[in-house]
Structure 1
Amino acid sequence: MTNDPLKAAWQQAKLPAHSDLSALLRTRGGHPVMSRIRRQLILESGCYVLFLLAYYDFFDGHTRPLYLNIILVLSVACMLVQHINGYLLAAGRLKAPDILQSLQLKVRQLQQYAWLSVGSRVLGWGGILLFFCSGINWTTPKYWLLAGITIAIVIQMVLLWQLWQRRINRINDTLLALKE
């Protein structure tokens, strides 16, 4: 018998069987966070595909030059591929032999993904704006509208960058705590 109640509680605690965790990961939906990411990916992919199927008729893609159609399709594809890349990054297993090295590797991967995520969205939205802004007879109100849209996109990109930095900083904080 020990005088330390924490040590006694630890020794008496029943640890969950590893099979419970394995069963959770083998279930149809997998981990709940991955299910939400997958659901978001499917929803956004479906919206992108519907947009690409409809833009040619709805937004007069047939009257625009071929290079603008190609830019629009590549812009949307760029954002879609980046979403898939993010899902694969989140689903990837830790490969290093210990938790410290695994977290360091994950931080590097997340930093690269953050740059690519923001960059692909900037390129994607730039291509979409280029497609929709071509052939417009520009007036002062239209310039103001374009300025407002540009400001909204810039604000979104800044917020996205800050979100990624908070996530990376949280992992870095965990790394520092583990090193001490």
Structure 2
Amino acid sequence: MEIDDLKSDWNTVQPILKTDESLLLLLQENKHPVLKSIRKQIVIEVSSWLIFLLVYYSMFDGYLKPFWVNVVLVFSLILPVLHSLYGYFYNKYLTDGTDIKKALERLYNRLKKYAFFSILSRIGFVGGLLFFFTYNIDFKGIKYFFLLSICFVFVFQIAVLYSIWAKRLKHIKEIMAGF
């Protein structure tokens, strides 16, 4: 296909027209569909963790464990909430209207920080839960196998999370190299 054919095809494409009001509605925080879904996820997660925190003390024998072990559990449960809030504010202020190359560089740097916090918060969350639930357990025989199995699942989960973020960052880096 020749360049003139491409130009004529491009000129014949009819864009989907949106009114100024519909575009302004998308820019409002309460109307943006991505931000709505993130807010819904945050509400569900925070509610779930609060319910867990209300019942863990008696349901999982938190009263039998030392105070500092309970603090580790509470802190590890706060990490996913902070991660969700950080993700919400990250998506709320994604770009600022500069040229595309600078916007991609800024996106790449912010996404690297977000990926690091994502992986770090998952490690802290998993570590805190494992620490709380394995505190004062006498590991003998088959219990070692179960603990190693659980640890393997969590390490695998973190490795998959790392590879997903590495692939996303590599893709953005390749796009930046194309400019």
Map 1:53-132 to 2 at 5 A. Answer: 53-95=54-96, 97-132=98-133
Match of 1:172 in 2: 173
2:30, 2:36 within 8 Å by CA — same for their partners in 1?
no
2:94, 2:107 within 8 Å by CA — same for their partners in 1?
no
Q: Distance in 1 between matches of 2:23 and 2:172?
A: 23
Q: Distance in 2 between matches of 1:174 and 1:123?
A: 32
* TM-score, normalization by structure 2: 0.86
Name structure 1 gaps, 5 residues minimum.
Answer: none
C-alpha RMSD over aligned residues: 2.2
- Residue 27 of structure 1 deviates from its aligned partner by 7.9
SS in 2 for 1:4: helix
Shift in alpha-carbon separation, 1:132–1:50, aligned structure 2, 3 A: same
Shift in alpha-carbon separation, 1:89–1:28, aligned structure 2, 3 A: closer
Match of 2:150 in 1: 149
Decide which moves more: 86-95 or 47-56: 86-95
What is the aligned-residue identity percentage? 30
Q: Distance in 2 between matches of 1:108 and 1:96?
A: 17
Q: Distance in 1 between matches of 2:97 and 2:106?
A: 8
Name structure 2 gaps, 5 residues minimum.
Answer: none
Q: Distance in 2 between matches of 1:27 and 1:128?
A: 34
Q: Distance in 1 between matches of 2:19 and 2:147?
A: 56
Q: Distance in 2 between matches of 1:92 and 1:154?
A: 32
Report how many aligned residue pairs link the two structures: 175
